[in-house]
Amino acid sequence: MQDQNLCAAENRGVKELGGEHVGWDEVTQGIVLTSFNGDATGIVHQKAEERHYSDFNSYTASVASWRVEKPVFNIDVCIDCQNCWVWCPDTSIISRDKQMLGIDYDHCKGCAVCVEVCPTNPKSLLMFSEQTALDTALAAWPEKKKKEDK
Amino acid sequence: MAEKFDIQDREVWDGNYAASQALRQARVDVVAAYPITPSTPIVENYGAYVANGYVDGEFVMVESEHAAMSGCVGASAAGGRVATATSSQGFALMAEVLYQASGMRLPIVLTVVNRALASPLNVRGDHADMYMGRDSGWIQMDAFNSQEAYDLTLCAFKIGEDHAVRLPVMVHQDGFITSHTAQNVYPLQDDKAYDFIGDFKPVDDLLDFSRPVTYGAQTEEDWHFEHKAKQHKALMDSRPVIDAVFEEFEKLTGRKYNRVESYNMEDAEVVIVALGTTVETAIVAAQQLREEEGIKAGVVAIRCFRPFPFDQVREALKGAKSIAVLDRSSPGGAMGAFFNEVSAALYTTDTRPLVTNYIYGLGGRDFSIDEAKRIFKEQKAHADAGYITTDIQQFSGLRGPKLGYFQTQRG
């Protein structure tokens, strides 16, 4: 039902940034890293999967190992308000045409800001331990909470 | 288009004015500065050039010297020709960002008017700030008078911006002695000066949207060592470029600069090695001693402090018997920094002349011809005896009982 890898380019998430062991004569001048291979004019209008990211783009690198808990996204509850997309400090919420699609687990560090700002009832994003399978997490989703009488 | 600034073939400029004119003629795009004594007039003048339409650049007013150099780093990474000026405490506050500039290989030009570092607070000149910057990865050149402050600032742009170099460059001059003393200066006309420097050709500029780049990446143990090695190589490899720029400048003006300057060194037996305005004082003393007492005195001055001209220092001093290295900076619990560097160069020679260290002129204390003569005469005594007859480190011009450290061998 949910494709967690919708936006993955081919070489995506395969290496930790800085993990290349190259000689001093091979490193770039001034540690200046190019983000894309070739001309990047108009790249802002391309979708992530269409772009030619360079090896030195953080999009290509993975920081998944930093995470202890992960947010899981439940599309059945989501109202596509884009709150999580706006707040995510690592641009790890995958959204297309204002539709929530999933989470970029290569770059999400598990900060839970998305869960905090999610306004639905129950929340459409919840934190689970890293090893919890997607199906298990979705099966354990809580029911809608009733409003307390005032 | 900027308005024309009228300058004569001969002007009476102080060091600050000379440096600011060089910045104007280089058509600097951005100057981000926080004025500090004694370098204040450099950026003050530059601000006036901007206000009066003599330059098309931007003057960025910032909240501190740390912000000034940060602004320069940003503007330089964006693809502009960038310069600023500072002294002493301001230089110290810039220190962190100096390493950012050199590490990112940004050819910023910084005019440093040398001044003592507090405490105690002091606005006068010594070389404490110059030595503080020596490991920051910048090319460091030293001007001994106003003319040289002007000339070397022009050269600084051409050297730093050379695509084989791409490193920031400091041009030093002595606080007040150079910066506030008006002298004859023979400037170039604007077009000639600009043609010498050439247009700025940016590399990896942030404003090139067809090729986005990341500046200031984190590297840790995976890359840091390699990047620092590459930076060191760039600094060492800048030597032929500096020589070539000096040569081109000589063709243009007739004024010849060398990374190591030698005076009367053909037959000199006793030598003073110094920096800044002291060099000219020492030259006068050497000439007088030659005429009056027949002492074969010579002077060696380091024009290019970084990259350190190790081989040229050895070459220049190979015939000397006794050498005084003058440090205009508090030694801080060691032999003087300059002494250590010159001694290291001499240690690898076969002749290994006698070397002593004089600490002098701190906080603007005057250095006279008589004092230079006394130092030469002490060197003569060492040379005649064949060993160092005094302490290896002495404080010269200090009030109170004689202060010195480390006795040496006796005959």
- Over residues A121-148, the mean pLDDT reads 92
Beta pairing partners, B302: B260
What's the pLDDT band for A87 if we cut at 50, 70, 90? very high
Q: Do A34 and B203 touch (CB under 8 A)?
A: no
Would you state the pLDDT for residue B409?
64
| Position A4 pLDDT exceeds 80 | no
Give tens-digit pLDDT for B160-196: 999 999 999 999 999 999 999 999 999 999 999 999 9
CB crowding B8-41: b at 16 or more within 10 Å, else e = eeebebbbbbbbbbbbbbbbbbbbbbbbbbbbbb
Give tens-digit pLDDT for B91-134: 999 999 999 999 999 999 999 999 999 999 999 999 999 999 99
Spatial distance between the Cα atoms of B171 and B167, rounded to a whole number of angstroms: 13
* Residue of B209, B213, B219 lying closest to A41 (CB–CB): B209
B-chain residues within 8 Å CB-CB of A29?
105, 166, 203-204, 230, 234
B-chain residues within 8 Å CB-CB of A22?
223, 226
B-chain residues within 8 Å CB-CB of A25?
230
Query: Is the minimum CB–CB distance between B350 and chain A shorter than 8 Å?
Result: no
Q: Do B227 and A24 touch (CB under 8 A)?
A: yes
| Position A144 pLDDT exceeds 80 | yes
Q: Which residue has the higher pLDDT, B294 or A16?
A: B294
Would you state the pLDDT for residue A13?
60
What's the pLDDT band for A56 if we cut at 50, 70, 90? confident
Query: Is the minimum CB–CB distance between A36 and chain B shorter than 8 Å?
Result: yes
HSE, CB side, 13 Å, CA atoms: give it for residue B311.
Answer: 2
Between B190-197 and B146-161, two packed helices, what is the crossing angle to 10 degrees? 40
Assigned token pair, B380: 């003569």
B-chain residues within 8 Å CB-CB of A43?
212
Q: Do A40 and B105 touch (CB under 8 A)?
A: no
Query: Nearest-CA neighbor of B250 among B129, B385, B154?
Result: B154
Cβ atoms A104, A71 nearer than 8 A: no
Q: Do B233 and A30 touch (CB under 8 A)?
A: no
What's the pLDDT band for A11 if we cut at 50, 70, 90? low
Give tens-digit pLDDT for B246-296: 999 999 999 999 999 999 999 999 999 999 999 999 999 999 999 999 999
Average pLDDT, chain B: 96
Shortest Cα–Cα distance, A52 to chain B (Å): 12
| Position A59 pLDDT exceeds 90 | no
Give tens-digit pLDDT for B37-71: 999 999 999 999 999 999 999 999 999 999 999 99
**Phi, psi for B77 (deg, rounded to 5):** -65, -30
Spatial distance between the Cα atoms of A26 and B395, rounded to a whole number of angstroms: 48
| H or E stretch at A114 | helix A113-117
Would you state the pLDDT for residue A71?
97
Would you state the pLDDT for residue A96?
87
Task: Name the one residue in this structure whose structure tokens are 């996204």.
Answer: A73
- The pTM assigned to this predicted structure is 0.89
What's the pLDDT band for A54 if we cut at 50, 70, 90? confident
Would you state the pLDDT for residue B223?
85
Shortest Cα–Cα distance, A42 to chain B (Å): 8
Beta pairing partners, B271: B298, B323
Give tens-digit pLDDT for A88-125: 999 999 998 889 999 999 999 999 999 999 999 999 99
Would you state the pLDDT for residue B155?
98
Task: Name the one residue in this structure whose structure tokens are 């006036």.
Answer: B48
What secondary structure letter does DSSP report for B275? -
Would you state the pLDDT for residue A7?
46
Query: Is the minimum CB–CB distance between A27 and chain B shorter than 8 Å?
Result: yes
ipTM of the complex: 0.82
Ordered structural domains, chain B, with CATH: 11-253 (3.40.50.970), 260-407 (3.40.50.920)
Q: Do B103 and A24 touch (CB under 8 A)?
A: no
Assigned token pair, B23: 């910045």
Give tens-digit pLDDT for B397-411: 999 999 999 987 665
Assigned token pair, B364: 């603007």
| Position B148 pLDDT exceeds 60 | yes
For β-strands B30-33 and A93-96, DSSP reports them as: unpaired
